[in-house]
Amino acid sequence: MNARALVAWNVRRIRVDRGIPQEQLAYDAGIDRSYLGGIEQQKKNPSIDLLDRIAKTLDIQLSELFAEPAKGATPPKPMARGRKPTRPSRNRT
């Protein structure tokens, strides 16, 4: 796995494990939400300074963003979309 993929994997894994929405992490780190999304999708190549800000915002060591996942680990799943909790659908008949 290359460095960009490791960063993408670990940022999303840590963010989702902690229940932090992408929008909130981006705001707290002082970056645009779409740029953070690009990092998580391996479309952006962030500077080391930006990675340092993200790590500090997540309260982790910078090196944790480059940690190799365990063999057979499943990719982190994205959080549910939207700002409102989902409601059960009502059957209208």
Contacts 24+ apart (CB under 8 A), 69-78: 69/1, 69/9, 69/13, 75/9, 75/12, 76/9, 76/12, 76/13, 76/16, 76/17, 77/16, 78/12, 78/16
Instruction: Note the pLDDT of residue 85.
Output: 47
pTM of the predicted protein model:
0.79
Domains identified in the chain and CATH numbers? 3-64 (1.10.260.40)
Q: Residue 71's pLDDT band (boundaries 50, 70, 90)?
A: confident
Instruction: Note the pLDDT of residue 39.
Output: 95
Q: Residue 92's pLDDT band (boundaries 50, 70, 90)?
A: low
* pLDDT score of 87 more than 60: no
* pLDDT score of 89 more than 60: no
